[in-house]
């Protein structure tokens, strides 16, 4: 992951008559990041995606995708951005290969490399054997993988996936998540809009919580959990040869220390693992485990929206 | 001023060829073209029989293949005028809303092309298919004419019939643009097809009744003033010409009949010095129907513009 921002949206807003769909959001995404776009239906996720793609004009605000404005330089932006919509549609009577070939021609991929590239991406999404069957015979999971194959074929730098796992069986979901992680490892930046919180937790580095057209929270799941838990980070510590309750109290930021089931649990206002480790080792203790408890997104999400609605 | 990057026509060829291939292989197209082909062969066969029975010698025998009818079948030109709008509507009624219903629109527009390319590509693809069908029918007519009449068409016949073919394509373009406009405005393909067919029904079948009615209201006849009869006729003709079918019928009448001199009322003063029944040069005939041809092209452009504006302003969410 690099520090370069590949997506920068500032004060982005979209209004349909009197209805405000997106209300001045800021979004900055680094290259290689996987960002989860979360929120209830009608919160503004899809409208934001369409504005990022240049398919809908923003009422106000600015967007830069890889340093380019999608409205002024739409072709350049579209060349680098792939989009897999919710319930991706294909031309049913055409085969998987023909669908990809058609999109390759529209994307102006040189004819000389199209065939080879299509074979390669179809193999990577495990569709090579059924490539010459009409898409009408494909299952939903196969269609989603064909959509991913299109993003791979176009060698996009940014992929926007809208509900890619909805309606998929567990095995297909896992296959798709593996593919998304593979794309991310390959350096692709991914925006993933989903209601499936376990999916988001599995693959996303950061999340943006949309609510009533605004981004209420943008950060890691741990930061979200800390925010809604009154800024509390929970750290599990297993150490021998020291009294952690006394030791941890001297670490700046620690609020509380408890013994729980044979180990210690520290509550702190920030991630104090480095300071704790240093103190334990300096005091001659044997540090066995130091773990920032991974917040569960479904819990954090539920609490966040309960608090927002109160 | 914001200047668009790249050409709006990038991708037009790819989309047009894909659309043409889809149409040529679709069951819908096979059915309707089968119908057109059967009726065309029937009409030509009937015309050949009648020409053989009644015409001993005619300088424009080939052109008569298009216009001569034998009961109960109408002429080939009349058949084409009736069925061609149906072909055009069949090819265009789900051009835009079909992409939304298949959920392929957002993926299509996420490719590095402009919306312009989608609309132009779809229009040109369908028009290409109609042009291929018309050319095939024309070649079939020519072949049947040579086979059964034993006379090859003259150069003037070929030019006139090709001009007629171009006018037929322009007429089909009007109905195609109308169908595409409905497909851009109405989200349900069934409803857009019904809307286009309703317009076709009104302008083809009922317009002949509506035009005199409206003309009677606009320009009533004064029994004491004979010029009001002419005024009402002209008003009726103007109203009737709002229908592309009227324009097409006038073009057909002039182009396929070299002896025809006018599409409106013909006065004795206009015939002064002319030889009765003498044919007009092809260019003269073309000049007579030039306004009708221009009107068809203008209607096509106007309807295409409506489709273009509607499509450009649409929010794409599927």
Domain residue ranges in chain A: 5-219, 230-297
> For position B1, what pLDDT does the model report?
58
pLDDT of B115 reads: 92
* Minimum distance, in Å, between the CA of residue A306 and any CA atom of chain B: 29
Q: How confident is the model at residue B34 (pLDDT cuts 50, 70, 90)?
A: confident
pLDDT of residue B278: 77
A81 has a chain B CB within 8 A of its CB: yes
Pairs across A and B, CB distance < 8 A: 80
Residue A12 clears pLDDT 80, i.e. is over it:
yes
Residues A60, A24: Cα–Cα separation, whole Å: 8
Nearest by CB to residue A78, choosing from B2, B102, B112, is: B112
Does the structure show a pLDDT above 80 at B317?
no
Q: How much of chain B exceeds pLDDT 70, in percent? A: 95
**How confident is the model at residue B144, as a pLDDT?**
82
Read off the tokens for B286.
Answer: 């073309």
Closest CA–CA distance from residue A174 to any residue of chain B (Å): 24
ipTM above 0.95, yes or no: no
Q: What is the mean pLDDT of residues A66-85?
A: 90
Q: Distance from A55 to chain B by nearest Cα, in Å?
A: 7
| Strand order through the sheet with A286-292 | A254-260, A263-268, A233-240, A286-292
Interface check for B125 against chain A (CB to CB < 8 A): the answer is no
Nearest C-alpha neighbor of A77 from the set A8, A169, A171, A162? A8
Query: Tell me, what's the pLDDT at B263?
Result: 77
- Report CB contact under 8 Å: A83, B107: yes
Question: pLDDT digits over B176-192, tens only?
Answer: 999 999 999 999 999 99
Report DSSP state, residue A128.
Answer: G
User: Mean pLDDT over residues B103-132, rounded?
Assistant: 94
Highest mean pLDDT among A145-159, A258-272, B57-71 belongs to A145-159
Q: Is A307 exposed, middle or buried (0-12, 13-18, 19+ CB in 10 A)?
A: exposed
B125-B158-B139-B203 Cα dihedral, nearest 10 degrees: 50
Confidence of residue B170 (pLDDT cuts 50, 70, 90): very high
The residue that leads in pLDDT, B2 or B61, is B61
Using the beta-carbon criterion (under 8 Å), do A106 and B113 form an inter-chain contact?
yes
Residue A78 structure tokens: 């579209």
pLDDT of res. B58: 65
- Partners of B14 on chain A (C-beta within 8 Å) are 102, 105-106
B110 and A78 in contact by Cβ < 8 A? yes
Closest CA to B26 of B81, B105, B92: B92
What's the confidence (pLDDT) of residue A3? 67
- What mean pLDDT is predicted for residues A130-153? 92
Chain B interface mutation, best of A89, A109, A114, A147, highest count of B Cβ atoms under 10 Å: A89
Q: Over 60: is that where the pLDDT of A1 sits? A: no
Q: Using CA coordinates, name the residue in chain A closest to B12.
A: A106
Average pLDDT taken over every residue of chain B: 88
Nearest CA in chain B to A69: B5
Q: Which residues have CB under 8 Å from B289's CB, separation 6+?
A: B167, B250, B251, B254, B255, B263
Between chains, do A89 and B102 touch, taking CB under 8 Å as contact? Answer: yes
Judge whether A305 and A40 are in contact, CB under 8 Å.
yes
Q: Do A74 and B10 touch (CB under 8 A)?
A: no
The verdict on a CB contact (< 8 Å) between B111 and A53 is: no
Crossing angle of helices A140-154 and A96-106, in 10° steps, is 30
Domain of residue B51, residue span:
12-266+278-312
- The residue of chain A with its CA nearest to that of B105 is A89
Segment B146-175 shows an average pLDDT of 89
A233 has a chain B CB within 8 A of its CB: no
**Residue B131's pLDDT is what?**
95
pLDDT higher than 60, residue A47: yes
Is any Cβ of chain B less than 8 angstroms from the Cβ of A50? yes
Q: What is the pLDDT of residue B59?
A: 67
Across B205-228, average pLDDT:
88
Distance CA B305, CA A153 (A): 35
Return the residue of B nearest to A79 by Cα.
B112
Which residue from A minimizes the CA distance to B11? Answer: A106
Q: How far is A70 from chain B (nearest CA, A)?
A: 11
Class of domain A230-297: alpha beta
Measured in angstroms, the CA of B89 and the nearest CA of chain A are apart by 21
| Local confidence band at A131 (pLDDT 50, 70, 90 cut-offs) | very high
Mean pLDDT for chain A? 88
Domains identified in chain B, total number: 1
Q: Tokens 């070299």 map to which residue? A: B258
Write out chain B residues lying below 8 Å of A82, CB-based. Answer: 110
Task: Using a CB–CB cutoff of 8 Å, tell me whether A143 touches chain B.
Answer: no
The mean per-residue pLDDT over the stretch A92-121 comes to: 94
CATH number of A5-219: 3.40.50.300
- Over residues B262-273, the mean pLDDT reads 74
Does A234 or B204 have the greater pLDDT score? Answer: B204
Q: What is the pLDDT of residue A231?
A: 64
A242 confidence band (pLDDT: 50, 70, 90) = confident
Contacts of A222 (CB under 8 A, 6+ apart): A233, A271, A292, A294, A295
Which two structure tokens, joined as six digits, stand for A256? 């509380």
d(CA A133, CA A142): 12
Establish if A135 touches chain B: CB-CB under 8 angstroms. Answer: no
The residue among A77, A85, A86, A144 with the most chain B CBs within 10 A of its CB, best to mutate, is A85
Mutate to test the interface with A, among B107, B109, B122, B314 (most CBs of A within 10 A): B107
- State the Cα–Cα distance between residues A32 and A46, nearest whole angstrom: 21
Please indicate whether, in this complex, the C-beta atoms of B103 and A85 are within 8 angstroms of each other: yes
Taking only the tens place, the pLDDT of each residue in B197-207 is: 999 999 998 99
In the predicted model, what is the mean pLDDT of residues A150-158?
A: 92
Q: Which of A89-103, A285-299, B82-96 has the lowest mean pLDDT?
A: A285-299
């Amino acid at each position: 992951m690099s520090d370069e921002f590949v997506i920068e949206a500032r004060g982005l807003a979209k209004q349909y008559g009197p209805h405000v769909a997106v209300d001045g959001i800021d979004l900055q995404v680094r290259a290689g990041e996987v960002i989860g776009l979360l929120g209830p239906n009608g919160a503004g996720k899809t409208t934001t995606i369409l504005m990022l793609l240049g398919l809908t004009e923003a009422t106000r605000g600015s967007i830069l995708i890889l340093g380019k404005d999608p409205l002024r330089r739409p072709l350049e932006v579209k060349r680098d951005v792939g989009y897999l919509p919710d319930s991706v549609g294909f031309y049913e009577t055409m085969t998987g290969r023909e669908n990809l070939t058609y999109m390759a021609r529209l994307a102006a991929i040189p004819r000389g490399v199209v065939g080879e590239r299509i074979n390669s991406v179809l193999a990577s999404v495990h569709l090579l054997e059924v490539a010459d069957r009409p898409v009408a015979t494909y299952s939903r999971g196969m269609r989603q993988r064909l959509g991913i194959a299109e993003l791979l074929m176009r060698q996009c730098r940014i992929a926007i996936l809208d509900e890619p796992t909805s309606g998929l069986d567990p095995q297909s979901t896992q296959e798709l998540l593996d593919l998304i992680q593979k794309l991310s490892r390959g350096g692709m930046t991914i925006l993933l809009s989903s209601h499936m919180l376990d999916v988001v937790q599995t693959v996303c580095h950061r999340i943006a919580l949309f609510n009533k057209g605004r981004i209420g929270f943008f950060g890691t799941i741990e930061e979200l959990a800390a925010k809604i838990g009154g800024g509390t980070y929970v750290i599990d510590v297993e150490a021998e040869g020291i009294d952690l309750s006394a030791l941890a109290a001297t670490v700046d930021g620690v609020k509380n220390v408890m013994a729980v089931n044979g180990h210690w649990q520290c509550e702190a206002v920030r991630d104090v693992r480095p300071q704790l480790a240093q103190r334990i080792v300096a005091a001659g203790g044997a540090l066995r485990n130091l773990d920032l408890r991974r917040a569960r997104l479904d819990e954090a999400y539920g609490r966040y929206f309960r608090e927002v609605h109160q | 001023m914001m200047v668009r990057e790249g050409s709006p026509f990038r991708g037009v060829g790819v989309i047009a060829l894909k659309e043409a291939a889809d149409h040529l292989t679709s069951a819908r197209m096979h059915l309707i073209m089968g119908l057109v082909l059967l009726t065309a062969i029937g009409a030509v066969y009937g015309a050949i029989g009648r020409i053989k029975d009644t015409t001993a010698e005619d300088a424009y025998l080939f052109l008569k293949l298009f216009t001569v009818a034998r009961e109960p079948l109408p002429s080939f030109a009349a058949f084409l005028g009736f069925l061609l709008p149906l072909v055009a509507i069949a090819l265009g009624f789900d051009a835009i809303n079909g992409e939304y219903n298949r959920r392929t629109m957002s993926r299509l527009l996420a490719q590095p092309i402009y919306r312009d390319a989608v609309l132009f590509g779809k229009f040109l693809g369908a028009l290409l298919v109609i042009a291929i069908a018309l050319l095939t029918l024309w070649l079939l007519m020519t072949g049947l004419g040579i086979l059964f009449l034993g006379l090859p068409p003259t150069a003037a016949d070929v030019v006139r019939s090709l001009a007629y073919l171009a006018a037929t394509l322009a007429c089909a373009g009007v109905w195609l643009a109308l169908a595409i406009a409905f497909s851009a405005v109405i989200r349900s393909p069934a409803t857009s097809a019904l809307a286009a067919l309703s317009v076709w029904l009104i302008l083809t079948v009922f317009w002949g009744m509506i035009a005199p009615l409206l003309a009677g209201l606009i320009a009533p006849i004064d029994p004491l003033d004979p010029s009001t009869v002419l005024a009402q006729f002209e008003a009726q003709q103007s109203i009737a010409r709002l229908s592309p079918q009227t324009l097409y019928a006038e073009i057909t009448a002039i182009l396929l009949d070299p002896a025809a001199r006018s599409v409106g009322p013909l006065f004795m003063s206009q015939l002064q010095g002319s030889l009765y029944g003498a044919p007009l040069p092809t260019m003269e005939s073309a000049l007579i129907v030039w306004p009708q041809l221009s009107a068809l092209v203008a209607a096509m452009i106007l309807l295409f513009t409506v489709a273009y504006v509607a499509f450009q302003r649409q929010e794409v969410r599927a």
